[in-house]
Each structure stands twice: as structure tokens, then as C-alpha cells.
A and B are shown apart, each in its own frame.
Chain A
Amino acid sequence: MDFYLTALLQGLCFSGIALGIYISMKIFNIPDITTDGSYTLGSMVTAVMLTHQQSLYTTLIASVVAGAVAGALTGVIHTKLKINALLSGILVMTALYSVNLVVAGRSNIPLIGTASLYSAITFVTDLNLNTLIVLLGVVAVLTALIGYLLKTDFGIAMRATGNSETMIRALGVNTDRMKIIGLALANALTALSGFFITQQQGYADISMGIGIVITGLGSVIIAESLINWLQITSVWTSLMLVLLGAIIFQMVLALTLALGVDANMLKAVTAIFVLIIVSLPRLKLLNRYD
């Protein structure tokens, strides 16, 4: 049971990445893999600030802003220098590896006796359960904020930017600026996941972000399958499904480990799992001539 609770907690921690990838990939139609770097950046900033006795509040803001700056940088490289989005992301991600090492001063920072979001407010004495309640609350607020944003006039313009660029430019939107803001937002959310997970696992590590983008992609792809299957058009429901996707993704990984699969094989299992979700709707073995 504890096993699945941990998976649930991780899923909730990763909701930031999932929402971030949802914004960059589904809303802006930009494949952004700055994620690997901005996640670690958020995590490292959190660890450094907390071990230097900064308040949770300032730490939260600092890590989110750091992520936003990283994302904006990818956005500027992509839009102003007209470099392919994927390459822009790779460049920033690569550079962030060094930045993260410099920020941290070493490759691993354990959090011992530091402030934690999950014990800031005590609802129940069981730490794991308390973490769950806090995370559920925070993620609910986060989803509400993004849901609201996407419904505002600015949010509609964001959605149109990824959907019909010619149209939205003709309607007076500077799409370059919009994409930079979008990537900043996506990576701020990713860094927020770093903030969550660092406190949940109790340390920050330089290699923790390697391949993390797949977590977000997997979550969003699970959500997308559900969205298409259930023909969802509501923004709110879509966001909820993205969160659900993040949780399902962690659950499947937990299940794999529980089944006795070697932990070294976890990344391979992850990749195969994502492949299966992506290809399932396309295989259509049952109605091949549809």
C-alpha cells in the first residue's frame, strides 16, 4: 500500500512537469525538452535555498522564476534566432547542466532538518498522508490557476498561437512574444515539480532530470488518449486528465517494480510503456479497414 501511496505522491509532484509539457506540446505545439534542465534547476535552487535557511515562500518563488528564465531563454533562441525548437531546448538543457552544478556547488545536496512544504501545515500525524493532503491542495490550486488562465482572453490567444498562427497574428498577437511567455510558463511549472520532488525525496541530485521529459510526455499522451476517446473539449477536464495521466504513469512504473522488474530496466520499461500508449490508438488491429 505504501508503495502505491509513494507512487501517487510522485505522480502529484510530477503534475507540474505534466502541465508544463501540456502547455508547450499541446497548446503551443512546440516540442520543448528544456524540461530535463529546468526540472533539475528548480530542484537545485530549492535545495540550496532551503539548506541556507531561506523560507519556503522565497524558495518557491526563486525556483519557479529560475525555471521561467530557462524557458524564456529557449523561447528567445527559438523565435528570435529562428532555431528549431527542439535544438533550442537541447542547447539550453545542456547549458543548464553546468549552471546546475555551479548553483549547487556539488552534484548532490541532501536536505536534513530543513523546512518542508509537507510539514509546514499538519493535518494528520502520518507524514506520508500529510504530504498527500498538502500536495492535493497545492495541485488543486495550481490546476485552478492554469484553468482560469486558459479561459481568459490571454489564454485563448495562447491556445490560438499553437493552433493557427496566421490567424492570431492577423488578430494582433505578437506570436514570438506569446511563445516566449508560453515556454517560460511551461518551464516554471517544470521547476515547480523540482521544488515538490526535492522536498518529497529529501535531496537534489544533478542527474535527477535525465530523461524526465518522458514523464511529462507520457502523462500528456495518456491524457490525450483519454481526451480523444471521451471527446473532451472542456479545458478543465483536459487539465484534470493531464494530472490523472501523471498519476497513472507513476502507478504503472510502481506496478512494474512491484512485479519484480529489475530497477535498472526502469527507463527501458518507461520508454516501452510510452511507446505502447502512443501506438495503441494507431494500431487499430480490430478494424484495420476502417
Chain B
Amino acid sequence: MIEVNNVTKIFNRGKANEVTAIRQLNLHIAAQQYVVIVGSNGSGKSTLLNLIAGNTMASSGDIKLDGQVVTRLPDYRRSEWIARVFQNPLSGTAPDLSILDNFRLAALRTRPKSLRIGTTEAFKKQVQDKIAVLGMGLENKVQQAMGTLSGGQRQALTLLMSVMDECRVLLLDEPTAALDPRSADLVMRTAEELIKTFKLTAILITHNLKDAFNYGNRLLFMSEGQILKDYSREEKLILTQNDLFELFG
């Protein structure tokens, strides 16, 4: 589903502050794999995710999504395959727009936004049904501005928004970093459920080793722009939290 071939990313090339964030990295992720990436700050996890999403372009190498070369495609074109949940709950939603409007845009992620009113009663009902699953009581507040909700609520809604339209790849960039433990747990469980129900290919970046241990069926450990360890489903099963902790040692 996702192929990263020999990709290198260098920031500020030729300047004093030149940084090689990703070094000749190879990564193949099969459909329906749920990959968890751990690694210390500056190990290149987020850069890797941004390269896959198209927020930054590779200095060399190529990236394929579903067999198609997307190396030079900008982020707004790769949204055809990819849905994202950001570290900052504020990035994944538009605060001044209503919950309904946010969902409307998400429902059109892979399609053009036309001069047609799409926030119909039928659509509203559809959104309400989806939101009701969260059990947060937000289904009766769909006209409310997104900005009035808490970070946890917004992050949970961003997750739901990602499956409003056809989604093949879900990128989760430390989705719970800014949340309290209870909201974090809800977001992680919602993600797990969506990934299973919609048979998504997913990548999760996390600093929470408990989450890395509990979720996903493949685990990568990154350091200095390279993948140092790659545990398959079976290897991950026999891994203990302590083993994970020692990777950072």
C-alpha cells in the first residue's frame, strides 16, 4: 500500500544548519497493516509521515501509494488516499466552522468541492448518527462551532471525519500527545475500531510506549533518520514493554 524507496530528506541543504532528517530509508507497508513508529525526538518519525503525506518533498528517492508514484504530488492531491490526524487537535479541524461544515468538507476529501449546498438534512442526520457512536452527546450540537469543543472531542471528531470519505491510509501523528489520559484512551480506542471496521492501512507515531505495545501489528523503531528495528506481528507479540523501553537506552 505504501512504498518508501531509498528516500532521503535533507533540510537547509548547503547551509550551516543542514540536517539530514531521513537517510536512504526503505519501508514497505502492506494493505491493512497498522504500523506503530517509536523513536526519540529528532529521529525523523514526523518527517517520514510528512513525506508520505506530501507536506514535505523528498530530496531523493521515491514514494508510492497503492502502486502509484506520488513523490512529487502535493499534500492536497495525496488526500485522495490519505486521511490525517495531527498532533495538535487544532490542526485537524476548522475552529470557526460548525461541526457539520467540518464533516461536510471531510466527506468531500477525495472529491471536488462544488457550488452546491451539501449540508442537507439527510447529510446532517448521517453525521449525527456517526457522532452518536462516540457517546459524547455531540450529536445534538452539530451546528456548534468546532472551536467550542475540547481538544479530546476535536481529536475524536477528526478521526471520525477521516472515514467520512473513501480512506485507504490513515496517518496518526501523536494524536494523543495533547490530551488527558481519558480522552487519549478514547481516541486510541476509536482509532483502533475505525482501522478494523474500515480495513485501513495505518501509521501511528507515538511517544506513549504503552500505546505502542497495545496497538498495531507492526512496530518500527527509528533513530537518526533510519529504521533500526522492525518487528513483525509475531515478533511484536512476544515483545514486552520493558524491551521497548530499552530500545531508547
Interface residues of A (CB under 8 A from B): 148-149, 151-154, 156-157, 159-160, 163-164, 166-175, 233
Residues 149-171 of chain B, each 1 if its beta carbon lies under 8 Å from chain A, else 0: 00000000000000000000000
B79 is contacted by which of A159, A170, A233 (Cβ under 8 Å)? A170
* A218, B1: Cα distance in complex, Å: 53
Q: Are A170 and B53 closer than 8 Å at their CB atoms?
A: yes
* A151, B117: Cα distance in complex, Å: 6
CB distance from A131 to the nearest CB of B (A): 32
Residue of B nearest to A151 (CB): B117
Q: Specify which chain B residues have a CB less than 8 angstroms from the CB of A167 in the assembled complex.
A: 91-94, 105
* A148, B143: Cα distance in complex, Å: 17
* A148, B106: Cα distance in complex, Å: 20
Q: Specify which chain B residues have a CB less than 8 angstroms from the CB of A164 in the assembled complex.
A: 90-91, 93-95
**Which of A159, A160, A172, A233 has most B Cβ within 10 Å?**
A172
Q: Are A152 and B116 closer than 8 Å at their CB atoms?
A: yes
- The yes or no answer to B145 lying at the interface (CB within 8 A) is yes
Q: Specify which chain B residues have a CB less than 8 angstroms from the CB of A233 in the assembled complex.
A: 98, 143, 145
The segment from B107-115, B188-196, B201-209 found at the interface with A is B107-115
Main secondary structure, interface of B, reads: loop
Q: Which 6 A/B pairs are nearest by Cβ-Cβ distance?
A: A172-B79, A164-B94, A157-B113, A163-B94, A153-B113, A160-B94
Q: Specify which chain B residues have a CB less than 8 angstroms from the CB of A151 in the assembled complex.
A: 117, 119
Give the number of residues in B that approach A within 8 Å (Cβ atoms).
Answer: 38
- The yes or no answer to B96 lying at the interface (CB within 8 A) is yes
Q: Are B117 and A163 closer than 8 Å at their CB atoms?
A: no
Residue of B nearest to A158 (CB): B113
* A26, B247: Cα distance in complex, Å: 49
Q: Are B115 and A171 closer than 8 Å at their CB atoms?
A: no
CB distance from A28 to the nearest CB of B (A): 12
* A175, B74: Cα distance in complex, Å: 11
- The yes or no answer to B9 lying at the interface (CB within 8 A) is no
- The yes or no answer to B62 lying at the interface (CB within 8 A) is no
Given A151-B119, A153-B113, decide whether A173 and B92 contact each other with a Cβ distance below 8 A.
Answer: no
Q: Specify which chain A residues have a CB less than 8 angstroms from the CB of B213 in the assembled complex.
A: none
CB distance from B22 to the nearest CB of A (A): 21
A171 is contacted by which of B96, B98, B105, B117 (Cβ under 8 Å)? B105
CB distance from B118 to the nearest CB of A (A): 5
Q: Are B118 and A153 closer than 8 Å at their CB atoms?
A: yes
Q: Are B117 and A159 closer than 8 Å at their CB atoms?
A: no
Q: Are A171 and B109 closer than 8 Å at their CB atoms?
A: yes
